[in-house]
Amino acid sequence: MKYSIHSGWFYTNEVWFSDAYQSLTPKAKELLHCLLNELRWSGKGKKKRYTNNGEVSFTEVEFNKAYGCCSKTYVDARDQLIRNGLIKQTYRGGMCRGDRAKYKILAFAKLPRNEERWRLYPEMNWEKEIPKQKKQLVGVKTQWKKGKSGRKLKTTLQNYTLNGGIPPKKVDP
């Protein structure tokens, strides 16, 4: 990772002690910090504004390489950040090579108070905004139907078998 040692984030007490931040797992906090490090700003002092909020991206591969964890850990951390209202996905990504998902950070980014969802977290959550996997459409027509075992309903070898109570009608050639 190419981050400056001299840069960092100041967590205000309002965010630090919020239910949304305190309920995060350690990996979710690390992912949030990685996303915050991707923010770029211009201006100085009170006129400082973030120029790429809404287009921030930190991929699963980068996270797994940096922290040595599996893909499920990244997905769980991202889902928890979305559920708690700390980030919002603005673009899904994954359509082709190099197409990244993009996020908007809703904490620490000097947004209007009505856009800071994390303030409402215990009463509200954003579970429905968590991206779901796309449905698998290959083989839908040939999958097993409910109540069907996959075997044929009519037996076809009744006339040529001695198994069961029905004797054969003629000898198999």
Selection from 4-8, 64-68, 165-169 with the highest mean pLDDT: 64-68
Q: How many domains does the chain have?
A: 1
Residue 30 in any domain: the answer is: yes
By the 8 A CB rule, do 96 and 73 touch?
no
Q: What's the angle, vertex CA 89, arms to CA 1 and CA 93, rounded to 5?
A: 70
Q: CB neighbours of 49 closer than 8 A, spacing ≥ 6?
A: 41, 42, 43, 110
Residue 144 placed within a domain: no
45 or 115, which is more confident: 115
Strands 41-42 and 49-50: antiparallel
Q: What is the CATH number of the domain that holds 98?
A: 1.10.10.10
Q: Is residue 3 part of a domain?
A: no
3-state secondary structure of 56: strand
161, part of any domain: no
* Strand, helix or coil for residue 152: coil
With respect to residue 55, please indicate whether it lies within any of the assigned structural domains: yes
Tokens of 90: 């603005």
- 89 found inside a domain: yes
158 and 166 in contact (C-beta within 8 Å)?
A: yes
Percent of the chain with pLDDT over 70: 72
Q: Is residue 50 part of a domain?
A: yes
Whole-angstrom distance, CA of residue 9 vs CA of residue 108: 9
Q: What would the pLDDT profile of 8-45 be if each residue is shown by its tens digit?
A: 677 788 888 889 999 999 999 999 988 888 888 788 77
For 69, the domain range is: 13-137
Q: Which residues of 4-27 are buried (b: 16+ CB within 10 A; e: fewer)?
A: eeeeeeeeeeebeebebbeebeeb
Banded model confidence at residue 97, pLDDT cuts 50, 70, 90: confident
**pLDDT digit string, tens, across residues 117-148:** 888 888 888 888 888 876 666 666 666 666 66
Could you give the count of Cα atoms lying within 13 Å of 53 in the half-sphere of its Cβ?
18
The tokens for 79 are 């889902």
